[in-house]
A and B are shown apart, each in its own frame.
Chain A
Amino acid sequence: MHDGHVLVFLALAALAAYELGAWRLRDRGDRWPPARDAVFALGVAAAIFPGVPGFTGHVVQHVLTGMLAPLLLVLGRPMTLLLRASPEARRRLKPVLGSRPVAVLMYPPVAAGLEAGGLWLLYRTGLFAAAGREPVLHVLVHAHVFLAGLLFTASVCRLDPVRHRVGLAPRAVALIGAAAAHAVLAKTLYRTPPPGTVLAAADRQAGAELMYYGGDVVELGLALVVALTWYAARGRAARRGQPPTWMPGRRAGSFSALRMISRTTGAVSPRPRIR
């Protein structure tokens, strides 16, 4: 159970760091909604969910660690918290976040390729069987599934401040493409087992169905994040751009005039505001 202890330790450290940051913000009077603490904690719990015997148990872990945990963790906006809570981290991370490799990795289609490609390699080559024999390989595969899922989710959701903006289309295409690749992979597993493995047909088919529908639940969550952030951004743009006559109870007040000035003088941050 050595691996398990390491995981629990990492999880507790992540939770403690998050709560320390949130406490710092609240202590100085900043708003940090408790819902973010809650989803982050749930995400950490889902990420370290222990493996259960059998292929269906493996799929439960795959859906929780590689798909649901990343979504919950990203909803907790840990990077925003880190940048706001620690000036030291902000100073050091800023050049990294603005760097070219990060921009490439955070481009949704690239992240989707890394995620879906990794899963296809795992289940449709001898890798799955090999990971069952070699404990080190198993740990590496598990870590890749989690990290690729996290990268993909962060690149599609873009809730944390990212230096490079990406439009709606690459995010939507990456999400639909990755979800489709996942659904097709699940159905191929229903048809044939991963090469080099012997699995009870009923167990494998139950696992494949779980993978297909579990993927749906997470895709639905991701689609909601993409659609609602688009909706909010449209609202902000409309309020900035023209007098919001169509919004009841709101008038074109001083704040939009202020924005107008800052826009015309070019004194506007190229980076999305850290919320």
Chain B
Amino acid sequence: MPEVVRVPERGDVRRARSAWAGVLAGVGVAAFVDETVFHQLLHWHHFYDRSTTDAGLVSDGLFHAFGWFALVFGLVLVADLRRGDRLSGRALAGGALTGAGGFQLYDGTIQHKLLGLHQIRYDVDLTPYDWTWNVVAVLLLAAGLLLLRRAKVA
């Protein structure tokens, strides 16, 4: 069997860039959905919770600021890759799901639970909400990582 020497080539760079564009856009979209749907439309999340720690405020500020930038820059990165015909759709989708799932998992575990930033909803039994939130996050993350692996094989 002839040995195939794999060197980093254009295809790898192309996939890596597409995946990173996806991760940024994914984090941005997840942060955007969190803010518009859960804060503004449903009013489930609260702006501030008396149990919020200082670390929680810093984490919220950083991810909030990063989320907007990631959304804008991720989309512009996609546009840049597209005009050069260097966009890998599968790597982009994989990156986006990974980014969105990763952010949601961080939000649902570290920010909501550990740092007490705010809870998903108030005056209800939180258990089903927390489980749904984090299971969805893990599913998104797993689907994203699977797609990224497939993109590499293809």
Contact = CB atoms under 8 A, between A and B. Distances in A.
Interface in B61-117: 61-62, 64-66, 68-69, 72-73, 75-76, 79-80, 83-85
22 contacts: A172-B69, A175-B65, A176-B69, A180-B64, A180-B65, A180-B66, A187-B47, A187-B52, A187-B57, A188-B57, A190-B47, A191-B48, A209-B47, A216-B64, A216-B68, A223-B73, A226-B69, A228-B76, A230-B73, A231-B76, A234-B80, A238-B84
A235 B83 CA distance: 9
Interface residues of A, number: 32
Nearest to B66: A176
A1 interface: no
A235 B79 CA distance: 11
Contacts of A177: 65
B58 A247 contact: no
Contacts, number: 76
Contacts of B80: 231, 234
B61 A181 contact: yes
Given A190-B47, A190-B48, A246-B83, A183 B60 contact: yes
A247 B66 contact: no
A187 B48 contact: yes
A184 interface: yes
A37 B65 CA distance: 30
Interface in A186-218: 187-188, 190-191, 209, 212, 216
A106 to B, nearest CB: 20
A238 B66 CA distance: 28
A122 to B, nearest CB: 17
B72 A223 contact: yes
Contacts of B61: 179-184, 187
| Interface bracket on B | 20 to 34
Contacts of A178: 65
A185 to B, nearest CB: 8
Given A184-B60, A190-B48, A219 B76 contact: no
A219 B69 contact: yes
**A interface secondary structure, majority:** helix
A180 B67 CA distance: 10
A96 interface: no
Interface of A: 172, 175-184, 187-188, 190-191, 209, 212, 216, 219-220, 223-224, 226-228, 230-231, 234-235, 238, 246-247
Nearest to A187: B57
Nearest to B63: A180
A230 B24 CA distance: 16
A181 B141 CA distance: 29
A219 B66 CA distance: 10
A266 B76 CA distance: 32
Contacts of B76: 227-228, 230-231
Nearest to A220: B68
Contacts of B60: 183-184, 187
A181 B62 CA distance: 8
Contacts of B64: 179-180, 183, 216
A177 B69 CA distance: 11
B8 to A, nearest CB: 20
Contacts of A226: 69, 73
B71 to A, nearest CB: 8
A209 B85 CA distance: 43
A87 B72 CA distance: 38
Contacts of A184: 57-58, 60-61
List of 8 A-B pairs having minimum Cβ-Cβ separation, nearest first: A179-B65, A184-B61, A183-B61, A227-B76, A180-B65, A180-B61, A223-B72, A180-B62
Given A184-B60, A216-B68, A228-B76, 16 more contacts: A172-B69, A172-B73, A179-B65, A179-B68, A180-B64, A183-B64, A187-B57, A187-B60, A188-B57, A191-B52, A212-B47, A223-B69, A227-B72, A230-B76, A231-B79, A246-B84
